[in-house]
Amino acid sequence: MRLISRKNLLLFFLPGALFMGAFLIYPIITMVIDSFFEIGITGDKTFIGLDNYIHAFAAGGFLKQLKNTLIYIVVAVGVETAVGLLFALFFELNYKGSKIIRSLMMAPLMIAPLVAGLTWKLMMSSSFGIVNELLARIGILSSSSDILWLADEKWSLLACCIADIWLTTPFMMLMILAGLQGLDSSMLEAARIDGASLLQQVFSIKLPVIKPILLTALSVRIIDAARTFDIIWAMTEGGPNSSSETISIIIYKTLTRYNDIGYASAMAVIFIAVLVVFTLVFMQSLWNPKKKNS
């Protein structure tokens, strides 16, 4: 039986579809077309086939930025997951006031990435930054200007990762806590009676329970980390010497500073294709086992 007539269905669907068509799908199509052209500053287009794509993968292309993006994803998401898991084990405890503590912990969750970037830029400044001052006081650094977080090519990307980790570890913790709610407490009790150590309890009982939710959280985070723009832009603008430049940043710079729309579009097409394939593969492997069960 049809719940809604075909006409009404279309009426419901069209307004939203038109919006997305005009401001999401149309731009994507334009971008794909542009990627096969060389576009001058005046807007004149010359068809150059796959040259933009070849350029992207050649030396001086975006391989460095690709590497930076991968490092950023691995470091930021890796640390977030590990720390988030550790935090979740502590914040899982229920006691008087535990809700307030949990809420406070999640307070930075919704802060603008730009603000997070600015905050860490301030804290990591070489002369008046509080991070180096604290490190020097603890004795890790001999002087507060030992590490130039944002001006040293070795550290700039890591500095951006740290801001990202600060901003999104609460998200990881939140997801893991939600997963742990599905834990059957009698199972844990049984394991305890059988003399399972704390580590064994975590790795053999808790981890398998939260695995599906952890995988989803990972996929969300990997894609978000790949897209990061605001944090890096606020902290280093990709510098120094493009040491913290990721794909998002190079695409934006190619567009606004070098005005090379064709080349930027080619990079964006590759970028989007990779993200979409990743999402679909990931979602498929997540969904299929469940569909078989039900």
Shortest Cβ 144–another protein spacing (Å): 7
Rounded to 10 degrees, the C-alpha dihedral 227/230/235/237 comes to: 70
Owner of token pair 């990779």: 274
Q: Which residue lies nearer to another protein by CB, 148 or 267? A: 267
Q: What is the 3-state secondary structure (H, E, C) of 78-141?
A: HHHHHHHHHHHHHHCCCCCCHHHHHHHHCHHHHCCHHHHHHHHHHHCCCCCCHHHHHHHHHCCC
Residue 171: CB atoms within 10 A of its CB come to 19
Contact between 80 and 169 under an 8 Å Cβ cutoff? The reply is: yes
Shortest Cβ 242–another protein spacing (Å): 16
Q: What angle do CA 272, 223, 291 make, to 5 degrees?
A: 95
Q: Which residue lies nearer to another protein by CB, 71 or 282? A: 282
Long-range Cβ pairs for the range 186-194 (8 Å, 24+): none
Shortest Cβ 10–another protein spacing (Å): 8
Q: Which residue lies nearer to another protein by CB, 3 or 59? A: 3
Shortest Cβ 8–another protein spacing (Å): 4
Distance CA 144, CA 134 (A): 8
Shortest Cβ 99–another protein spacing (Å): 9
Q: Which residue lies nearer to another protein by CB, 145 or 204? A: 145
Contact between 36 and 50 under an 8 Å Cβ cutoff? The reply is: yes
Shortest Cβ 41–another protein spacing (Å): 13
Q: Which residue lies nearer to another protein by CB, 127 or 241? A: 127
Shortest Cβ 250–another protein spacing (Å): 9
Q: Which residue lies nearer to another protein by CB, 144 or 156? A: 144
DSSP string, 225-262: HHH--HHHHHHTTT-STTTT--HHHHHHHHHHTS--HH
Q: Which residue lies nearer to another protein by CB, 75 or 221? A: 221
